[in-house]
Amino acid sequence: MRGFPLASPWRLAALLFLLLAIRLPGARAESGPTLEASREPQQNITVGDPIRLTLQADLPEGWQVRFPTPGGTLGDFTVLGAQSPPPSEMPDKRSRHSWVLQVAAYRPGRFEIPSLSVSFTDPSGKKQERSTTPMPVEVISVLQEKSPELRDLKGQEVLYESYLWLWLGLAGALLAAAAAWWIRRRWQKRQTPSAASFAAPLLPPHEEARGALDRLLAGPLTPRDPLFYLHLSEIIRRMIGRQFEVAALEYTTAELMAALAALPGMPLPAGRLEPFLGQCDLIKFAQYLPAAEEQTHLVSEARAFILCCRQAWEKRRAEAEAEARAGLPAQKPNRTGPV
């Protein structure tokens, strides 16, 4: 059997293969990182469909990788999100790192995913930059050819809404308001006695007011309580209403003073009555608490008004008795007289 010559090609090839097999692990360990970019296979990408792009880096031991940080857009695409799965171990002390990016295009056409830069750092701290190759993408519209089943939009339909329930509700509200007003007027008329009711055996207005004031001062309320002045004002207003036949409880202070100013021979001092009622209104509505001397002054003023009404009532009663003794015909009572 003939042997191979020393320089046979077959023998040289066998020796070269043996040397590569021996040196391959060492060469693999000394090689740098690798970077691959791939896109998930998709057919007929339409507007708004997510496109998945994956970057895969294989690193030797001690190397580090830094994937790009995309903003809200990437070229003609809108970034939907990015994530980095945990790295996986590979033979020869290498590790595989992945980065997944999802984008979408919102108009049809031929586009290109731009090149992405990835940073690598070796064990000594030296950095390397590698970039991916741009990837073409075609996005088609979801509206291809006009379907024969599609029709043009119709005009807006006019809807006639029934307003019967609205009118019924409005009528009910008006009736309720009218009933409430009527009940309130009836109650106020009962609270303010008429001229005919004054002929009944009632206490004179000043005596009724004096008794109410005494009960107020002896009651649980004190001049330090704002509610005290609400009752104090009502006592004086009720007395004035009976004495002079005016709706004093319904009037505001300005309206009441105008009504009293129109009466002949007004015995109450307007310069003192209006500040008294105004101070009571301030306490009632603004929850203002007067000082101690003001509290005493308001009670004293109330007693003075009661005294004025008493004097006017007694004067008119004396005049009425004198006219009766003289046989004069009865005259219409003066509003400043007894009622």
Q: Which residues pair with 129 in a beta bridge?
A: 119
Residue 333 maps to a domain = no
Q: What is the pTM of this model?
A: 0.39
Tens digits of residue pLDDT in 196-215:
444 455 889 989 999 999 99
Residue found under tokens 């970034």: 79
Boundaries of domain holding 117: 30-139
305 in the same domain as 203: yes
pLDDT in tens, 271-308: 888 899 988 888 888 877 888 888 889 899 999 989 98
Residue ending a domain, among 80, 112, 139, is 139
Distance of CA 139 to the CA centre of its chain: 45
- Given a contact cutoff of 8 angstroms between Cβ atoms, the answer to whether 206 and 336 are in contact is no
Question: For 43-60, what is each residue's pLDDT tens digit?
Answer: 788 888 899 889 888 888
Residues 118 and 234 in one domain: no
**Residue 295: burial class (beta carbons within 10 Å; 0-12, 13-18, 19+):** middle
Tell me the average pLDDT of the chain.
Answer: 80
pLDDT digits (tens, 9 = 90+) for 139-172: 888 776 555 565 667 666 666 566 778 888 889 9
Q: Is residue 117 part of a domain?
A: yes
Does any domain span residue 259?
Answer: yes
In a domain, residue 12? The reply is no
pLDDT computed for residue 207 by the predictor? 92
Task: Count up the domains in the chain and report the number.
Answer: 2
- Based on the domain organization, do 131 and 246 belong to the same domain? no
User: Does residue 153 fall inside a structural domain?
Assistant: no
Q: Are residues 106 and 206 in the same domain?
A: no
* pLDDT given for residue 8 in this prediction: 64
- Report if residue 313 sits inside a domain: yes
pLDDT given for residue 226 in this prediction: 85
Residues 319 and 209 in one domain: yes
> What is the percentage of the chain residues whose pLDDT exceeds 90?
16
Are the CB atoms for 239 and 208 separated by under 8 Å?
Answer: yes
Of 78, 106, 139, which closes a domain? 139
Domain boundary among 103, 121, 139: 139
